[in-house]
């Protein structure tokens, strides 16, 4: 415990050293909030409005590591990604190779630390289509190069089907399989439901996959009412948890954690997002369920 406290005290020095550069961070549109650095233990993320400003912050960070004489960077674990609008009709001070053919798309910012180049988020040495190819895992969340969740959804869908098949082929009876579903299969997706920007439609798709297994394990007919699977026991049900209900529950937990965060930046970003999404109802679109429940 003492070593952790001492490390945090030393690492706080570099965060204080980089405070004068905070205005170089990412400015949220329509908000005074500025996101510059996020640190957890010995991991740090630096977000700036341009590659030049990011390189400036990295150089300052490297000078701190050199000053300590006992700390050093691991360039192999560093990952860089940037996004901007490419306008080829104008003359840029510096050209970057864009990754994609859209107007607003990611590109390699060509950053370096200690003379070693920081690799782009797309790893050409891995298999295309895998999470490791164009994703980066930061504090348990997979971030894709285009910020989409398609590959993650496919991975979660395959994992759920694999877990259901494993339970289905094991040697226990049907009600024991329902127990494994409730306390193993459904809980395995909790982290993905909590930290990623998935949709209620995706959770409903997972329910369609699981229901056919649950009916067989419970001994129900194909046309039987699904309510008996998910109703409370006092209402003559098996009280199982559906993926849809589990997703809604964790989205509400997520909103409460962000809204009441001790970090003013996190709470401010959540409030700005909640205000923006609540205005969608005026356009004929309902607001996000989690945001509506948490702020209402």
Q: Are 289 and 200 in contact, with CB atoms under 8 Å apart?
A: yes
Per-residue model confidence as pLDDT tens digits over 124-149: 778 887 888 888 888 888 999 888 89
Distance CA 200, CA 31 (A): 28
198, pLDDT greater than 50: yes
pLDDT of residue 281: 59
User: Going by DSSP bridges, is the β-strand pair 116-117/119-120 parallel, antiparallel, or unpaired?
Assistant: unpaired
**Which pLDDT does position 89 carry in this prediction?**
60
Six token digits for residue 194: 């909590």
Mean pLDDT, to the nearest integer, of 111-134? 87
Nearest of 34, 56, 57 to residue 44 by alpha carbon: 57
* Tally of CB atoms within 10 A around 265: 14
Highest average pLDDT, of 21-30, 159-168, 229-238, 262-271, comes from 159-168
Q: H helices of 18-142, where?
A: 51-68, 131-134
Average pLDDT (158-181) is 94
> How many other C-beta atoms lie within 10 A of the C-beta of residue 260?
11
User: Does residue 119 have a pLDDT over 70?
Assistant: yes
Do 25 and 36 touch, CB atoms closer than 8 A? yes
- Residues 49-58 pLDDT 10s: 999 999 999 9
- Give the DSSP H or E segment for 84: strand 82-85
Would you say residue 290 has pLDDT above 60?
no
pLDDT the model gives residue 286: 46
Return the percentage of the chain with pLDDT > 70, whole number. Answer: 91
With 70 as the cut, is the pLDDT of residue 285 above it? no
pLDDT at 289: 47
Confidence of residue 193 (pLDDT cuts 50, 70, 90): very high
Both tokens assigned to 234: 């006092």
What's the token pair of residue 158?
A: 């395959």
Rounded to whole angstroms, the Cα distance separating 166 from 130 reads 22
- Return d(Cα 265, Cα 115) in angstroms, integer: 33
How far lies 258's CA from each of 10, 167, 194, 200, 274, in Å? 28, 35, 11, 19, 11
- For the cut 70, the answer to whether the pLDDT of residue 229 exceeds it is yes
- Domain layout of the chain by residue ranges: 15-148, 151-259
The confidence score (pLDDT) of residue 116 equals 93
- The count of residues in the chain is 296
Which of 21-35, 89-103, 177-191 is most confident? 177-191
Average pLDDT over residues 251-280: 87
pLDDT greater than 60 at residue 112: yes
Furthest CA-CA distance within the chain: 71
pLDDT band at 225 (very low <50, low <70, confident <90, very high): confident
């Amino acid at each position: 415990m003492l070593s952790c406290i001492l490390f945090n005290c030393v690492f706080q020095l570099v965060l204080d050293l980089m405070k004068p550069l905070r205005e170089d961070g990412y400015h949220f549109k329509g908000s005074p909030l500025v996101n510059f650095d996020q640190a957890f233990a010995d991991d740090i993320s630096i977000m700036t409005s341009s590659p030049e400003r990011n390189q400036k912050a990295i150089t300052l960070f490297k000078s701190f590591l050199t000053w300590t004489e006992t700390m050093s960077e691991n360039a192999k674990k560093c990952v860089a990604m940037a996004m901007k609008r490419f306008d080829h009709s104008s003359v840029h001070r510096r050209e970057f190779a864009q990754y994609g053919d859209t107007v607003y798309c990611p590109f390699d910012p060509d950053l370096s630390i200690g003379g070693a180049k920081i690799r782009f988020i797309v790893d050409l040495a891995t298999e295309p289509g895998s999470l490791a190819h164009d994703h980066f895992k930061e504090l348990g969340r997979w971030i894709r190069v285009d910020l989409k969740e398609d590959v993650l959804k496919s991975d979660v869908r395959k994992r759920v089907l694999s877990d259901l098949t494993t339970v289905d082929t094991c040697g226990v009876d049907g009600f024991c399989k329902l127990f494994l579903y409730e306390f193993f299969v459904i809980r395995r997706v909790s982290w993905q439901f909590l930290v990623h920007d998935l949709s209620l439609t995706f959770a409903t798709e997972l329910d369609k996959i699981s229901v056919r297994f649950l009916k067989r394990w419970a001994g129900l007919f194909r046309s039987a009412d699904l309510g008996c699977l998910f109703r409370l026991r006092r209402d003559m049900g098996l009280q199982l948890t559906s993926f849809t209900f589990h997703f809604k529950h964790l989205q509400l937990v997520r909103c409460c954690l962000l809204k009441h965060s001790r970090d003013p930046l996190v709470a401010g970003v959540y409030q700005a997002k909640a205000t923006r999404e609540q205005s969608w109802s005026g356009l004929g679109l309902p607001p996000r369920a989690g945001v509506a429940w948490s702020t209402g």
